[in-house]
Chain A
Amino acid sequence: MIDVRSISYRYPGEAGLTVLRGVSLTLRRGEYVALMGANGSGKTTLARSLNGLIHPCEGCVSVDGMSASDETELYEIRRRVGMVFQNPDTQIVATTVEREIAFGLENLGVDHPEMVRRIDAALARFDLSEYRQASPHLLSGGERQRLALASVWVMHPHYYVLDEPTSLLDPHARREILGFLQRERQAGDRGILLITQFAEEALGCDRLAVMDAGAIVLDGPPPDVFRRIPALHALGLDVPVGIELEDYLKEHGIASFV
């Protein structure tokens, strides 16, 4: 389980604002949690604390019982918590698509035949086979996002922390990725934290947490959270159109057979 206990954080520097204020959150294996919030509300900062990229000023983060502030545990924590960043370019390091996917595996010490097997499977699964030898920087935005996810998938993480991983995907690819995440959660028993601006994407999750100005202000099953339409709009968030209009029908007593 990833366990975040009342953490606070301020970025260093004199202009440093407090961007996390007593945030608590849990993510279990097999659980799929969506995180929504306005721009600047602290989602990415929270995600970065989950595998020790930043260390909270107060409170603590633990992953399967290991403290994310303990430098000696960081290697194991990062193996278990796979991260996909908001801008895929910030995590792409290799000169070809194939090597990018191999990069993390080499560090894990996976043997060669297994490595080849996993890379082939990743290229096929994320529809990147034709770009095997291409430079990642020649890929389109959506292709780069798929590459970032492929590179994390081959590591077999226990948890995925995904910062707006579908923002550049076309509708078809988006559906594919969301389906993939559901399968990882169910069959693979992975825990998934999905940061998104797309309300519809949160509908398929077990829980939806909403951030505002560095704090989690709502946390519950998506249908319950989405029922609070005016509150969500005030927080700068969208509600799935289907829910908003169903709600309108109910409120105004409109039925399909009048």
Chain B
Amino acid sequence: MRLLCDHVSYTYTSLLTPSRQALEDVCLEINEGGILAIVGASGSGKTTLIQHFNGIFRPSAGRILADGRDIHAAGFDLHALRRRLGLVFQFPEIQLFEETVFQDVAFGPGRLGIPEDEIEGRVRSALSCVGLDFAMFRERSPFGLSGGERRRVALAGVLAMEPEVLVLDEPTVGLDRRASLKVEEIIRGYHDRGKTVVFVSHNMDFVARLADRIVVMHHGRILFDGGRAELFRDEAILHEAGLDMPQVPRFMRDFAKRGAAVRTDVFTVEEAKKELDRYAEAGKRDAGGRR
């Protein structure tokens, strides 16, 4: 599915607080098959933006198009859209309400009309995707889980619906390393199958490892839209948007400052180790040549 935000603006109005413009003239085209990260300071409009994708919010001005059709036009089937586009909220645990973990994860597929005998398989594989043991967790109450466990169950609930587009708001919050790696796998798996993933995150390490495109939001506008190497090279934009350099390129940059000719546009620990090896090899060759 292709998504297009066409000059979207959105203003929050409430009786208690002065109205606030959360999005201003946002234009964003999301084609099939990429991994898009949306980053930016708190309050810059990230959550508001992605909640437009499945019609939870309606733009105050501008349009949201899915495969070229305005999702708020008369006759557009928003429910069908929501089946194809799965959104995991920032506080996904508030979506949990059934008595057991099994029922919670099965809820979405049940509503999609998936046959009973297929549901168990889906629940099993969704729980295994998030690293929860089926036998151990199926009968537990979602309310008696730890924070990270609850988030994983909520994520499994959306995965079990097997949406075409996966939209995740802060998917690694509260997750331990093992679970974050699982989420990385899920996102890469989507990508490998040619599907689209959009996620919002403050975790620049996670963003840099995964995203092939990054959109930086700043005061409701798009400040930057491009590749990670380009973004993390641009200290002015990082500073303006209040973002951090991810740990891996930061390390490489510091190492380069100590006089080593290494690339700084590497984003995973594995890539960094390879680059350090290459550098060490080159050094040995030079030394050998001189001798």
Contacts and interface: CB of A to CB of B under 8 A. Distances in A.
A249 B47 CA distance: 40
A248 B17 contact: no
Nearest to B177: A238
B72 to A, nearest CB: 24
B269 interface: yes
Contacts of A163: 147
Interface string A232-243: 010011101110
Contact of B170 (A168, A173, A249): A168
B33 to A, nearest CB: 28
A87 B147 CA distance: 8
A180 interface: no
Contacts of B279: 254, 258
Interface string A143-173: 1000000000000000000011001111111
A44 B16 contact: no
Interface residues of A, number: 49
Interface in A92-130: none
A109 to B, nearest CB: 29
Contacts of A171: 202, 204, 242-244
Given A39-B149, A241-B251, A256-B260, A169 B42 contact: yes
Q: Is the interface of A mostly helix, strand, loop or mixed?
A: loop
A200 interface: yes
Interface stretch (B55-63, B73-81, B228-236, B281-289): B281-289
A107 B17 CA distance: 28
Contacts of A138: 12, 14, 16-17
B90 A254 contact: no
B170 A44 contact: no
Contacts of B287: 258
A233 B177 contact: yes
A170 B144 CA distance: 29
A244 B277 CA distance: 15
B104 interface: no
Given A39-B146, A39-B148, A164-B174, A248 B273 contact: yes
Interface of B: 12, 14, 16-17, 40-43, 47, 90-91, 93-94, 139-140, 144-149, 152, 170, 173-179, 202, 204-205, 242-244, 247-248, 250-251, 255, 258-260, 269, 272-273, 276-277, 279-280, 282-284, 286-287
